[in-house]
Structure 1
Amino acid sequence: MSRKLQKAGFDQVEIEDTIAQLQQAGLQSDERFAESFVSSRANRGYGSVRIGMELKERGVNSDIITTSLQQADIDWFALAIEVRCKRFGEHSPDDFKDRAKQQRFLQYRGFTHEQITESFNLTNNEK
């Protein structure tokens, strides 16, 4: 919020005072923002790595990011499977090129290597 207000031309001292007043009144909370952001982005099919990076870009404290990701009631492995199947279908990749393409997609979406690997293993075992 501070960066946006600075770009709009507001004085830094006024910005800090206003944000402090909003926080004291309970109207601004980085914790609530992070929780909402994690939920929103996960619902759109993004993984924890990307969500964490986006929160950091928005100036959220690393401790808040870690806590929000840990407290989120999200099965990241199941989400990786869901995202992969939605994009590429439930069939296993036919060759190395298709598998690499799907892995790059999931990596771009912010899933860990373990989650990506497991998404292929679980869908292969279900067949």
Structure 2
Amino acid sequence: MSRNDSDKQKKRSAYDKALGLLARREHSRKELKTKLRQGGYEGEETSAAIDRLGEQHYQDDDRFAEVLLRSRIAQGYGPMRLRVELKSHGLSDARVRELLDEAEVDWNASAAAQLRRRYGGAGTADLAERSRRAQFLLRRGFAAATVRSVTHADVDEAADDMS
């Protein structure tokens, strides 16, 4: 057997490569397709491998989205950020809305927890400090109404200060 033949034998199939990726963590279809193509696998082989993994229930976009959503909520991210991230993985607007509704998160409590974690207990009445805290929450993906209720800051002012 020549060296070239042994190199061909060593290269795993797209299915094996994708299965290895899924063994480490959940991946979306879109993410798997990108990683396989970057690994030099052809489009038809990639699609067939991902379809087969889906049929075997090793890959499931809904399961991926639920795991990602739970993880990001636990990390303290807001609904705006989560919506963008889920859509970047190829989920439809309707499915993203459905997942966020099913999550039943108290976004005000989550935002307040992030403020306590980042800035400690009591807030100050200082306008600049409230603005800084509002900007922090906006960057984490919380809605303006949530930020306003938690920080008592004028969010429009805070957004202007960010630019």
TM-score scaled by structure 2?
0.69
Cα distance between partner residues in 2 of 1:40 and 1:60? 17
Relative to 1, partners in 2 of residues 1:8 and 1:61: Cα closer, same or farther, differing over 3 Å?
farther
- Choose the corresponding residue for 2:110, options 63, 79, 82: 79
Once the two structures are superposed, the pairs formed by residues 25-36 of structure 1 within 5 Å of their partners are 25-36=56-67
* Kept after mapping to 1: 8 A contact 2:83/2:96: yes
Where 2:151 maps in the other structure, the secondary structure is helix
- The residue aligned with 2:93 is 62
Cα shift readout 1:62-119 (whole Å, capped 9, x = no counterpart): 3322221111132111101110111112222332111111011001111001111121
Once the two structures are superposed, the pairs formed by residues 1-127 of structure 1 within 5 Å of their partners are 1-121=32-152
- The residue aligned with 2:3 is none
Specify the code of the residue in structure 1 equivalent to 2:83.
Answer: G
The count of corresponding residues between Structure 1 and Structure 2 is 121
Q: Percent identical across equivalent pairs?
A: 31
Cα distance between partner residues in 1 of 2:84 and 2:103? 16
CA shift, 1:48, in A, is 1.1
TM-score scaled by structure 1?
0.87
* Kept after mapping to 1: 8 A contact 2:78/2:111: yes
* Kept after mapping to 2: 8 A contact 1:34/1:64: no
CA shift, 1:29, in A, is 0.7
Consecutive unaligned residues in structure 1, runs of 5 or more:
122-127
In angstroms, what is the RMSD of aligned CA positions? 1.4
CA shift, 1:53, in A, is 1.1
Runs of at least 4 residues off by over 6 Å = none
Consecutive unaligned residues in structure 2, runs of 5 or more:
1-31, 153-163
Where 1:34 maps in the other structure, the secondary structure is helix
